[in-house]
């Protein structure tokens, strides 16, 4: 397997890169939805993120690589603690429900008559990231399944004489081209941040993309080594932010700003305020700040709210423009 394309070498797409970094720092955000043109680095950024993440502590041999401090009940008693990479699992568009949730291990059932559960992709993604490319083309019954698991943090399998319950807490990252189909509102609402990516229009930027991609394809190892220092800086930034985020202050004034913006825009429910607050806190931690400020709210208001706004058929203004206009009015 060639080395992944370095995260730091991705040209432009700053909003997308910042969003996945915030999701890495604050899993409670609820994941990231990346929508835009084909060939704009959506899947490249997600796969590059995997190489950036510091390893995690897990119970050796546990099929769900659970945290040693919170053993899941499926671990071998007395198993030692090991370190392993944070899982970043691809969910193929044509994957069956059995492959996703897990199923009866037919080989062992036929050979020994034992009913043994074979964990699926949700088990592999526990404590990591589940990536779905072309998420807007996912079948409805799989969308319902993912909504249930994402909400509960637990996967329940009741079939073929099996009754299994295991942890499945992951950061959901989806990408797709909105021209190929819309995402169901129930799943859309589960994503914490929604990012729009576009084909670069500046010629120097387009040339830089071509040069870097060509250099990577010619010699992936050499290209990775060339960007190793920059990726190491980003990794240290993630580690510092994870350690600092619990101490980042969010005062009542900032919460009032969050609520006022969501109310002004008419976003449904209170998930918008919560996401706005969590995203601002993650951004402050990444920036090394000790408290959330209006500057943080301004920077993440659009990705936190653009997919939560009601559509107005009489208003041709895009969601991003409406949010920026509202923020300018409320936070002069």
Enzyme catalytic residues: 271
Helix, strand and coil percent figures for the chain, each rounded to 5? 50, 15, 35
DSSP 93: T
Cα dist from 115 to 99, 108, 163, whole Å = 17, 7, 10
> How many Cβ atoms sit within 10 Å of the Cβ of residue 134?
15
Give the closest residue to 59 by CA, choosing from 105, 119, 127: 127
d(Cα 160, Cα 150) in Å, to the nearest integer? Answer: 24
DSSP codes, 261-325: HHHHHT-SSSHHHHHHHHHHHHHHHHHT-SB--HHHHHHHHHHHHTTSSPP-TT--S-HHHHHHH
Q: 189: which 2 tokens? A: 């609402």
d(Cα 36, Cα 198) in Å, to the nearest integer? Answer: 6
Contact predicate 30/129, CB 8 Å: no
Give the closest residue to 210 by CA, choosing from 12, 2, 3: 12
Query: Sign of the C-alpha dihedral, residues 168, 283, 213, 137?
Result: positive
């Amino acid at each position: 397997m060639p080395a992944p394309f370095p995260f730091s070498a991705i040209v432009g797409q700053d909003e997308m890169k910042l969003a996945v970094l915030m999701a890495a720092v604050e899993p409670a955000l609820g994941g990231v939805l990346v929508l835009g043109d084909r060939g704009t680095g959506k899947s490249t950024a997600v796969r590059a993120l995997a190489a950036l993440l510091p390893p995690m502590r897990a119970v050796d041999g546990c099929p769900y690589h659970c945290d040693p401090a919170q053993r899941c009940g499926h671990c071998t008693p007395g198993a030692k603690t090991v370190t392993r990479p944070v899982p970043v699992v691809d969910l193929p568009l044509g994957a069956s429900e059995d492959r996703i949730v897990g199923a009866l291990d037919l080989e062992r059932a036929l050979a020994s008559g034992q009913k043994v559960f074979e964990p699926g992709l949700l088990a592999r993604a526990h404590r990591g990231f589940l990536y779905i490319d072309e998420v807007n083309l996912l079948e409805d019954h799989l969308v319902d399944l993912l909504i249930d698991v994402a909400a509960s943090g637990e996967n329940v399998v009741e079939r073929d004489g099996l009754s299994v319950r295991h942890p499945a807490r992951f950061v959901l990252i989806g990408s797709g081209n909105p021209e190929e189909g819309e995402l169901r509102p129930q799943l859309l609402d589960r994503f914490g941040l929604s990012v729009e990516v576009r084909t670069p229009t500046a010629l120097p930027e387009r040339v830089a993309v071509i040069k870097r991609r060509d250099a990577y394809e010619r010699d992936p190892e050499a290209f990775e080594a060339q960007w190793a220092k920059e990726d190491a800086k980003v990794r240290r930034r993630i580690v510092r932010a994870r350690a600092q985020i619990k101490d980042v202050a969010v005062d009542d004034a900032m919460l009032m700003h969050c609520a006022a913006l969501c109310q002004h825009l008419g976003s449904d429910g209170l998930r918008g305020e919560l996401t706005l607050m969590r995203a601002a806190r993650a951004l402050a931690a990444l920036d090394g700040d000790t408290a959330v400020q209006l500057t943080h709210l301004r920077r993440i208001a659009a990705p936190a709210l653009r997919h939560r706004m009601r559509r107005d058929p009489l208003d041709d203004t895009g969601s991003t423009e409406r949010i920026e206009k509202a923020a300018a009015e409320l936070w002069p």
